[in-house]
Amino acid sequence: MAQALSLGLLLAFLAIQSCIAIELTDHIDLWPMPTSVSHGTQRLYVSKDITMSMEGSTYPDEKGILKDAFQRLKFGVDESYNLSVPTAGYPLRVQIEAQTVFGALHALQDQMRLHADTSRHYLPVTVIKKVIDTMAYSKLNVLHWHIVDAQSFPIEIPSYPKLWNGSYSFSERYTTSDAVDIVRYAENRGVNVMAEIDVPGHALSWGVGYPSLWPSDSCKEPLDVSNNFTFGVIDGILSDFSKVFKFKFVHLGGDEVNTSCWTATPHIKKWLDDNQMNVSDAYRYFVLRSQKLAISHGYDVINWEETFNNFGDKLDRRTVVHNWLGEDVAPKVVAAGLRCIVSNQDKWYLDHLDATWEGFYTNEPLKGIDDPEQQSLVIGGENNNENFENTE
Ligand SMILES: *[C@@H]1O[C@H](CO)[C@@H](O)[C@H](O)[C@H]1NC(C)=O
Ligand SMILES: *[C@@H]1O[C@H](CO)[C@@H](O)[C@H](O)[C@H]1NC(C)=O
Ligand SMILES: *[C@@H]1O[C@H](CO)[C@@H](O)[C@H](O)[C@H]1NC(C)=O
Ligand SMILES: *[C@@H]1O[C@H](CO)[C@@H](O)[C@H](O)[C@H]1NC(C)=O
Ligand SMILES: *[C@@H]1O[C@H](CO)[C@@H](O)[C@H](O)[C@H]1NC(C)=O
């Protein structure tokens, strides 16, 4: 958004007031929790004759708003809004105040992320678009697209055209133009797309097209740390991504790395010895070298929390640490001055069927973080669903 806007969007609609008083308590079940809320006692219905009008806008006309709405949604855009509903008037005029069109959009949809995994289960483009629609209704504003993993590599990478040989089948693939289409569709609905490649641990499918990425034909994970080609491929993927996924962040995974193939494979064992590294050193080397590649393509990096737990002080200072294991890591991450995304699996993983809705709503990402400066380093929460199809 080039200029700061004062966008006063007035929504006028006919509302029928019912006589039923709503039972009220001090506790309001809203999520995400607004900065402040006050409420009345009447139930209102939105009329089918809803109309909208605009006031105090710096736009010359509605076309200007639409033009902005189709501009790229950037990280850090003011998405806040005030929504007030008067108690009397006919028709009732509901007022939305927002600084940008994206704030108004969220108000109409009365920040959160959603994780979709297309490696374990391929999702057709039309289904991803439906997910994005649903996100917009729920005010989720970042789609974490876990595109590739050990199981399949469904996306086209022009720099390394054999990578998608690792897809389940020819029809279970995304072309570059599919990805561009998805990103554009999401942005028009106020949703950013954050892509993930999970290295070095969750990348077995990469070696279907390029077997030298595997330590050996019998030991296929993690990616071969001793092979310079491995980093050439990561560089190529991130270079191609940077032309499609323009969001500020890319996710580089880094979780669940089982290094036993590295010591079991003679040429890698020799490389470790030659470079005086043990497997923990090599894991850190892999993550940090991949971070540098992502940064060289203009990205800020997100890594799963194991990277922080193992060598937090070595991570690039712009790293965002993505929590998933439990709830005690976020306070440590922000105390170390790094940013954090909270999605502890016991509360916010949608495929954890034992996680209750009550726990989901009351989960507090800022738990244990009292310093406002540290609180501001918690840049989001995320709902994860590793098994998307099961909950459709
Ligand atoms: C919402 O109202 C508050 C208090 O009047 C004001 O400070 C804030 O700037 C408003 N926000 C927007 C997005 O208009
Ligand atoms: C990759 O797929 C192409 C066809 O798309 C095929 O010609 C090639 O042999 C495959 N390579 C490997 C290593 O599977
Ligand atoms: C390793 O690959 C990088 C590109 O990723 C290249 O710049 C560098 O020269 C290569 N080094 C060796 C030793 O091959
Ligand atoms: C690590 O991988 C090796 C070889 O693939 C396997 O035997 C071992 O059980 C794995 N360890 C863990 C903790 O999963
Ligand atoms: C690897 O070496 C470092 C010291 O360089 C040591 O702190 C660490 O415990 C070692 N890790 C393993 C798994 O041996």
pLDDT digits over 258-277, tens only? 999 999 999 999 999 999 99
390 Cβ inside 6 Å of ligand 4: no
Q: Give domain status of residue 290, yes or no.
A: yes
Cα–Cα distances (Å) from 42 to 86, 95, 108, 323, in that order, read 11, 17, 20, 41
Q: Examine the domain organization and report whether 245 and 296 are in the same domain.
A: yes
Asked which of 108, 135, 166 is the last residue of a domain, the reply is 108
pLDDT at residue 155, rounded to an integer: 96
d(CA 7, CA 211): 55
pLDDT tens for 307-361 read 999 999 999 999 999 988 877 888 999 999 999 888 765 554 545 445 555 555 5
204 and 347 co-located in one domain: yes
Residue 1 lies in a domain: no
Residue 260 Cβ inside 6 Å of ligand 4? The answer reads: yes
Residue 25 has pLDDT above 80, yes or no: no
Atom of ligand 4 nearest to the CA of 219: 5
101 in the same domain as 204: no
- On whether both 67 and 116 belong to a single domain, the answer is no
Distance (angstroms) between ligand 2 centre and the Cα of 52 equals 55
Q: Considering its fold, how many domains does the chain have in total?
A: 2
Helix axes 125-137, 176-187, angle to 10 degrees: 20
Known catalytic residue: 256? yes
Residues 267 and 169 placed together within one structural domain of the fold: yes
- Domain match, 84 and 214 both: no
Taking the CA of residue 293 as reference, the ligand 3 atom at the shortest distance is 5
The answer to the question of residue 156 being in a domain is yes
Query: Does one domain contain both 82 and 178?
Result: no
Q: For residue 335, what is the domain's CATH number?
A: 3.20.20.80
Annotate 39-95 with DSSP letters as a single string.
Answer: --S--EEE-TT-EEEEES-SSSSHHHHHHHHTSPPPTT----EEEE--SS-SSEEEE
For 357, half-sphere exposure in the C-beta direction (CA atoms, 13 angstrom radius) is 3
**Residue closest to 340 by CA, chosen among 292, 308, 298:** 308
**How would you class 222 by CB atoms within 10 Å of its CB: exposed for 0-12, middle for 13-18, buried for 19 or more?**
buried
Q: What is the pLDDT of residues 1-11, one digit of tens each?
A: 333 334 444 44
Residues with CB under 6 A from ligand 1: 80-82, 97-99, 103
Provide the residue range defining the domain that includes 53.
7-108
Q: Quick check: 374 pLDDT over 60? A: yes
CA 82 to centroid of ligand 1, rounded, Å: 6
Bond from prior residue into 222 cis (ω within 30 degrees of 0) = yes
The per-residue pLDDT of the chain, averaged, comes to 78
- Residue 162 CA to ligand 2 center (angstroms) comes to 6
Domain-embedded: residue 2:
no
132 and 78 in one domain? no
Question: Is 262 in the same domain as 248?
Answer: yes
Is residue 13 scored above 50 in pLDDT? Answer: no
Tell me how far apart the alpha carbons of residues 48 and 91 are, in angstroms, rounded to a whole number.
12
Q: Of 75, 108, 141, at which residue does a domain stop?
A: 108
What's the chain's Rg over C-alpha atoms? Answer: 23
The predicted pLDDT at position 285 comes to 98
Average the pLDDT over 170-178 and give the result. 94
Residue 299, pLDDT above cutoff 70: yes
Q: What is the pLDDT of residue 318?
A: 94
pLDDT of residue 362: 55
